[in-house]
Structure 1
Amino acid sequence: MRKDLGAYRNELNQAIDFDRVLDQFAAHTSFSLSRSQIQNALPLQDRYQMQEKLDLVRESIGLFQSGSTLSLHGCHDIEPAVKKAVRQMVLSPQELLEIASFLMACQRVQNTLRDESYEKLVAYSETMQTCKSLMTKIQDCIDMSGSVKDDASALLVQKHQQLVHARQALISRSRDFVKKNASKLMEALTTTIAGRTCVLVKAGEKNAFGGMIHGQSQSGLAFYVEPSSFVSLNNEVQLALSQIEEEKHRICKELSRLTASFEVALLSNLETMTILDCAFAKAHWAIEKDGCVPLIQTQDRSMTLEFARHPLIDVNKVVANTYKLLKDQRVLMITGPNMGGKTVTLKTMGLCVALSHAGFPVCCHRAVLPYYRSVWFDIGDQQSIENNLSTFSSHVSSLAMICSKCDPFSFILLDEIGNGTDPAEGSALAIAILEYLIQKKATIITSTHYNAVKSYGKTHENILVASMQFDKESLMPTYKYLPGVSGASYAFSIARQYHLDSWILDKAKQIKEETEDSRNKELEKLEKLQNEVVLEKERFEKLIRDAHQLQKEAQETKEKLAHRKEVFEKEYQQRLEELLIKKEQEADALIEKLNKTTMVRPHEKTQLMHDLEALQPETKEKEEKDSFAVGDYVQIQDLNSHGEIIELRKKEAVVLTNGMKMKVKTNRLKKMKRPRLEKTQPKAHRDKTFVRVPLELNIIGCRVEEGLRSMDHYLDQCVAHHIKQVRIIHGMGTGKLRSAVWQDLKKHPMVKEYTSAGPSDGGLGATIITLK
């Protein structure tokens, strides 16, 4: 793209603040190598390399949005240390620790990136070698503070033990010495000089103990003396320390040799981790800025940047705009007054193109960009004193180079084309340059103030004229992009706001009207009409947004009321169910009393039945009822009893069941076939007393073993008396007794089937059993 990359980088930095935006990305990196790689990034010419970088960013964004907390903490630029080891130099413990930390980070990445949906990230992570033997060896010898461990080798352990013993002996001897010679010492303490234990002796006694004199106090009244009795023990301590340092050096030397043997794997891992760290940093930036990964397309020259923002502008102040160029539109010409946002728009679009072609995400909600092989900029005042170039000369010099080197795969950004010279000549030059670039099929984003250039753009099929909206009442820019609308300069209005003399303004208007041709007047009228249309459109869109907001609020209110209604209905249903459960419990108690009182008197039985009847909830009459007649055989549903109707009175019937008369409402009756009585031969010996087996058994309150024993005995009686269907009442409780009952029934040889009772028969608190 450029031979002089340094000059090209400076051009990008001056034109679109490329370096400042790259610094935002670099702030998310984990170590220096990836940080440097991002800060030195430039747009690429290789489309496949560009796409590879963008795909990595896309997968990284998906990885972090899925909740992954992958961290590259511990990564370091280990290349200098590895190269040092290869040159047979000894690495420091700190350098070895950085290599181990780096390998641990590689291992974490491999353990995290196992999801096949992140194809490229997984492919990169799988290329890394764990170098487990090197990492383990370093971790065994180097602690987390970057020092050799005391137990890194057997010899090191031994030397540390010798050091401890020597120091203990020296401490003991020095304590005895101080105690014995306290009168000759300035202080009853020992001190250390150059690693050797000494005492502070009075000046007159400095030669009294032999040994060595290591120095004099500042006052000259005392000397630091190493008594002869200390010398041998001090020597032992120093020897042990020296041997320890030698052994540590030997361990580091051995680890350095091992590191050198892993040179290729370590440097390959470093390259991979740098690529991944750059991708992760870009992903974090995109999530933070609510950006996206651009799509680079090669089908045509169309461009779409939806809700594009400049990342250097405060997020609370920046105005998002959508920019589009159709496949036949080669030029986007932005017009409008100064300070209206034209340059910011140019820089935003240029930055999106440069970032996407360098493999970075952009600050948009959606971005589709053509593939460009070269990117050119001419923004700002580039006058040069050294080269004797004026503003216009520098522009012309830049334009000349762009025109000579551009092609259909060039993106060109031109701010105020033709500016800096006579307006008539500047306009003509701008039109000619644009015509030439259009013929070369390059993509151009430009801005202009010249009416002649705007008129040319309005009539050219390959040019889209747009403007930045300006509030003519407040004379303040809104920074909103208006495609298809050319903007007025508002020069006189802005000048009036800054209190320029009214005579000057009136004279300027007069001169303008005299010199302005009819075409420019018509163009100005058209611009005013377009602005009025845009304002009306905005008012209409605001009314639509307000209507949508009211509709949304009404829908939310409706949903709240529906939710409140649902809550009320649930509460009502819950209270109703609680009431029904209470009634069912009372009914169960009466039924249990009926079943237990086999010898009850008739009038008491009738009273209990009336009480039970009173507990039944009112039900709606069915449209089609069973019709009953005297002599029908029926079943009493909630009692699981059956018998013959002997009397019928409106909604009540008298049923003969088990030798007793019961008055029951007809809605509790159900017709059934009369059971067939089998004729049996009279037994030789028959019990004189007749035992009637009840049709249900209540084991509520029993322990599991006791309840199962009672049920088994009850079922044996039922089988003996040819009873086919019974009910076991076990209650709800914790469900433990019910579960045990069902487990026992599953194994019972005479049980045909069993199921939970219906709502009127006890629900989950009872089980209906059908016997074989």
Structure 2
Amino acid sequence: MNSKVFTTLEYSKIKDQINTFLVTDAGRDQLATLTPSSDYDQVNEWLKETADGADIVRLKGEIPIPNLTEIAPFLKRLNIENASLSGTELAQIKKLLVSLKVVVDFFDDLKTNQVTLRLIDQLVEQLDLMPEITANLVRSVDDDGRILDGASSELRSIRRSIQRTQTNIRSRMDKFIKGPDSKYLSETIITVRDDRFVIPIKAEYKQKFGGIVHDQSASGQTLYVEPSGVVESNNELRRLQLSEREEERKILIELTESLRPYTETLKENMHLMGHLDFVNGKAKYAHSVKATLPILSNNNEVKLRKARHPLIDINKVVPNDIAIGSDYRSIIVTGPNTGGKTITIKTIGLIQLMGQSGLFITANEESQIGIFDDVFADIGDDQSIEANLSTFSSHLDNIISILDQITDRSLVLLDELGAGTDPKEGAALAMAIIDAIADKSSELIATTHYPELKAFAYDRPNTINASMEFDVETLKPTYRLMIGVPGQSNALNIAEKLGLPQLIIDKARSFTDDTNQDINNMISELTEQTRRARIEAEDLESQLNSAEELHSELKEQFDKYQNSKEKLIENARVEANQVVDKAKQQADEIIDDLHKKQARAGQAAVKENELMDAKGALNALEVEPNLKKNKVLKREKKKHDFRKGDEVLVKSYGQRGTLIEKQRDGSWEVQLGILKMKIDPNDLEKGQATPEEKSKYRPRVSRTRSSGISPTLDLRGERYEEAMSRLDQYIDSALLAGYPTVTIIHGKGTGALRSGVNDFLKSHPRVASFGYSAPNAGGDGSTVVKFK
């Protein structure tokens, strides 16, 4: 793409704005080389990356990339034998490697949160974390390049010795500062000269101190003396410091050698991080100017919705709808100067350059751009009446160059075509140039103030007139583009509004022919119709946007409700289980307490008031549910709304029967074949027994050889599983036999069989109560069971 158009349309200013969002040298290098591409696949890939970045900016703020200095110059030295990197350079490489882990973790988190990306996550997968190298650098070098104690055990040992020696020296020199000799000092401080600890002594007391003079003040009144008592210690400190430097040098060499095999890997990591930074910068710029992802057209059909010039304040710029390449391939914008024609063609040109550079464009969503092989522009800012031949020649040279280069996939922008020469010749030349461009099938947007081009555009195929709206009432341009409406001269209307005598106005109009007057009237009417249509369209668009916002808000609220509903149900289940567990625990405690009271009472029965208290405690555990709005519970309740004569299912036997009479204790007398039985209402359900229910609630009554059944079941000596099976069959048989009370003999033993019997009886729906026998009747070796 020709470089001249970048200057004409101020493309570099867009890059300057993006640069403010970059934090790495590599990212800035990539921005510096950015130019628009005419390759559809390349532009599409760039835009997908920018769209990924925009999604991340919207969801997370930005990709967490720190300020990174370009490490390429450091890596070059790795290829030089015996060369080593400095601590500062190693710190920059460490910073890069540490940031890789942060970025990878960031994208893993996006993946965990099911954030779908298009391309950028594939770049992240190419990052090489180099964990061992990273850990070694983190252990050895701090962010400022200082070698850390953890770099080697030898360095740690040397630095501890240095610290001890310094402490010893300071301890000795404190005697001079705090002792009687302090009066000879200029200041009671310990300082350093030539890497040795010294004290400031008044010059006149020099003889009172042995030692070495290392420096003196500018006035000569103070001498910096190393007392003789610490000379050897200072010597030792100096030796240790030299050892420290040597060890640090060895560490730097070792760290450099560890990096040498990974030169290309480091370079690729830096490039990828720079590219992520570049994508991040493009996305943040798009967010700052409210730019959107454009649709790409392979046929170069441009359809911009509310396009804005990106370099004009968003609160001041007037957006315009611009379309070209489908119904027409040339737009001729006519009308007087200062109406916004130039800025309009600059807008479409700059937006095209942005889009073909992989940037979002300053237009509403669903806007479409083309993929032009080149964009040419001849736009002059000097539009004064002093335009001379040299200006005309300059523009003509540029147009000649453009005509030599354009193809059927080019976009041409010409401002004030034919200006700077005789109006008639200029108009004729403009029409010839437009035809020449049409012959090449290029797309063209040209501005002109020549009225002759209005009829020209009307007569030419694939060409349409356009103009900039002008408000005659306020005598100001509105800067709105009107496609299909040619520009009109407002000179007489403006003069009339400004107060020029009507006589002069009328005479001026008489000089214009009827055809021109009719054309002006027609244009005026078209302008008004277009204005009204625009206002109505904007009103409808506003209503549509409001409706879409409301729909989006309602959908968001509904999604939140759906998510929270599942959580609430799960929480309710957890709480319900906790309540049930607590109720079971309390019930077990009440029953155990009754057992203890019964055991203490011996043969005597538990007092009636104690039983009432226990029953009240058990009843207190029951919480009545709110059934008013619970349809499931309503249906369940309806199943148990019994009336005399209803057919019911006795669940414990899986048999169908008929209700005969309700008893005082709440139970029902049920006719089961030839049997009449008292059944608890909880064991009843309206309707007939299905095959599945009969299978589920199959009878377990086992008939003995005798026509009767014993009121006592002895389970002693039986295995647990067999005993529980016999107990189950025996209880059913005892219920059918109509026994009100039975005794289960389980013995004492280990207590396992007794616990099993108790657990079974607790869960049986027909057991009213149970307890151990009296001490003289077996005590806790047998259990007496009472049925409902």
Deviation at 1:751, TM superposition (A): 9.2
1:333 and 1:445 in contact (8 A); partners too: yes
**Alignment partner, residue 763 of structure 1:** none
**Alignment partner, residue 371 of structure 1:** 371
1:475 and 1:493 in contact (8 A); partners too: no
| CA spacing shift, 1:509–1:18, aligned 2, 3 Å | farther
1:336 and 1:469 in contact (8 A); partners too: no
Deviation at 1:456, TM superposition (A): 0.9
**Alignment partner, residue 286 of structure 1:** 286
| CA spacing shift, 1:551–1:239, aligned 2, 3 Å | closer
1:286 and 1:361 in contact (8 A); partners too: yes
Q: Distance in 2 between matches of 1:108 and 1:547?
A: 44
**Alignment partner, residue 96 of structure 2:** 102
Greater CA deviation, 341-350 or 64-73?
A: 64-73
1:291 and 1:363 in contact (8 A); partners too: yes
TM-score, normalised by the number of residues in structure 1: 0.69
4+ aligned runs moved over 6 Å, structure 1: 542-556, 625-629, 668-672, 677-687, 712-716, 749-754
**Alignment partner, residue 247 of structure 2:** 247
Q: How does 1:44-193 map to 2 (within 5 A)?
A: 44-65=37-58, 67=60, 70-87=63-80, 89-113=83-107, 118=117, 120-178=119-177, 179=179, 181-193=181-193
1:332 and 1:466 in contact (8 A); partners too: yes
Deviation at 1:44, TM superposition (A): 2.4
**Alignment partner, residue 235 of structure 1:** 235
Greater CA deviation, 204-213 or 365-374?
A: 204-213
Deviation at 1:40, TM superposition (A): 4.4
Deviation at 1:540, TM superposition (A): 5.5
Q: How does 1:462-501 map to 2 (within 5 A)?
A: 462-494=462-494
Deviation at 1:437, TM superposition (A): 0.5
**Alignment partner, residue 662 of structure 1:** none
Deviation at 1:302, TM superposition (A): 2.0
Deviation at 1:46, TM superposition (A): 4.0
Structure 2 counterpart of 1:399, one-letter code: I
**Alignment partner, residue 651 of structure 1:** none
Greater CA deviation, 484-493 or 149-158?
A: 484-493
Q: Distance in 2 between matches of 1:173 and 1:186?
A: 18
Q: Structure 2: state its 5+ residue gaps.
A: 553-607, 609-627, 629-637, 647-656, 679-684, 690-700, 712-725, 741-755, 767-786
| CA spacing shift, 1:682–1:241, aligned 2, 3 Å | closer
| CA spacing shift, 1:379–1:678, aligned 2, 3 Å | closer
Q: How does 1:608-757 map to 2 (within 5 A)?
A: 634-635=659-660, 639-642=666-669, 719-722=733-736
Q: Does 1:453 align with 2:453?
A: yes
SS at match of 1:722: helix
SS at match of 1:95: helix
TM-score, normalised by the number of residues in structure 2: 0.68
- Pairing partner for 2:530 from 520, 534, 537: 534
| CA spacing shift, 1:166–1:129, aligned 2, 3 Å | same
Q: Distance in 2 between matches of 1:53 and 1:545?
A: 31
| CA spacing shift, 1:325–1:509, aligned 2, 3 Å | farther
SS at match of 2:150: coil
Q: How does 1:208-227 map to 2 (within 5 A)?
A: 208-227=208-227
**Alignment partner, residue 6 of structure 2:** 12
| CA spacing shift, 1:208–1:371, aligned 2, 3 Å | same
1:417 and 1:430 in contact (8 A); partners too: yes
2:62 and 2:280 in contact (8 A); partners too: no
Deviation at 1:156, TM superposition (A): 1.0
Deviation at 1:174, TM superposition (A): 1.5
Structure 2 counterpart of 1:254, one-letter code: E
**Alignment partner, residue 766 of structure 1:** none
Deviation at 1:382, TM superposition (A): 6.6
Deviation at 1:402, TM superposition (A): 1.0
SS at match of 1:55: helix
**Alignment partner, residue 601 of structure 1:** none
Q: Distance in 1 between matches of 2:232 and 2:478?
A: 88
Q: Distance in 1 between matches of 2:542 and 2:176?
A: 96
Q: Distance in 2 between matches of 1:233 and 1:349?
A: 78
**Alignment partner, residue 722 of structure 2:** none
Structure 2 counterpart of 1:634, one-letter code: L
Q: Does 1:502 align with 2:496?
A: no
Deviation at 1:455, TM superposition (A): 1.7
Structure 2 counterpart of 1:166, one-letter code: T
Deviation at 1:440, TM superposition (A): 0.9
| CA spacing shift, 1:60–1:686, aligned 2, 3 Å | closer
Q: Deviations over 1:389-438 (max 9, x none)?
A: 73322222211211122111211111121122222222111111111111
SS at match of 2:444: strand
2:351 and 2:362 in contact (8 A); partners too: yes
Q: Distance in 1 between matches of 2:243 and 2:551?
A: 83
Deviation at 1:54, TM superposition (A): 2.1
Q: Distance in 2 between matches of 1:550 and 1:162?
A: 74
Greater CA deviation, 317-326 or 522-531?
A: 317-326
2:333 and 2:447 in contact (8 A); partners too: yes
Q: Deviations over 1:700-724 (max 9, x none)?
A: xxxxxxxxxxxx9999766512289
2:324 and 2:443 in contact (8 A); partners too: no
Structure 2 counterpart of 1:76, one-letter code: T
Deviation at 1:536, TM superposition (A): 4.3
Q: Distance in 2 between matches of 1:337 and 1:233?
A: 92
SS at match of 2:436: helix
Q: Distance in 1 between matches of 2:211 and 2:27?
A: 59
2:137 and 2:255 in contact (8 A); partners too: yes
| CA spacing shift, 1:626–1:750, aligned 2, 3 Å | closer
Deviation at 1:454, TM superposition (A): 1.7
Structure 1 counterpart of 2:476, one-letter code: M
Greater CA deviation, 331-340 or 450-459?
A: 331-340
1:637 and 1:670 in contact (8 A); partners too: no
| CA spacing shift, 1:482–1:637, aligned 2, 3 Å | farther
Deviation at 1:442, TM superposition (A): 0.9
Q: Distance in 2 between matches of 1:267 and 1:423?
A: 61
| CA spacing shift, 1:670–1:436, aligned 2, 3 Å | closer
SS at match of 1:390: helix
| CA spacing shift, 1:161–1:551, aligned 2, 3 Å | closer
Q: Distance in 1 between matches of 2:173 and 2:209?
A: 13
Q: Distance in 1 between matches of 2:288 and 2:315?
A: 14
Q: Distance in 1 between matches of 2:389 and 2:144?
A: 59
Q: Distance in 1 between matches of 2:358 and 2:687?
A: 80
1:333 and 1:464 in contact (8 A); partners too: yes
Deviation at 1:377, TM superposition (A): 1.1
SS at match of 1:421: coil
SS at match of 2:277: helix
1:113 and 1:121 in contact (8 A); partners too: no
Q: Deviations over 1:457-498 (max 9, x none)?
A: 12222112222322222233333332212232423445666x
Q: Distance in 1 between matches of 2:10 and 2:437?
A: 25
Q: Distance in 1 between matches of 2:59 and 2:390?
A: 55
Structure 2 counterpart of 1:244, one-letter code: E
Q: Deviations over 1:332-366 (max 9, x none)?
A: 22234443332222121111111122222211212
Q: Distance in 2 between matches of 1:545 and 1:154?
A: 72
Q: Distance in 2 between matches of 1:134 and 1:551?
A: 56
Deviation at 1:527, TM superposition (A): 0.5
1:198 and 1:225 in contact (8 A); partners too: yes
| CA spacing shift, 1:511–1:153, aligned 2, 3 Å | same
SS at match of 1:159: helix
Q: How does 1:381-460 map to 2 (within 5 A)?
A: 381=381, 390-460=390-460
2:389 and 2:421 in contact (8 A); partners too: no
Structure 1 vs Structure 2 CA RMSD: 5.0
2:203 and 2:223 in contact (8 A); partners too: yes
Q: Number of aligned residue pairs: give it.
A: 624
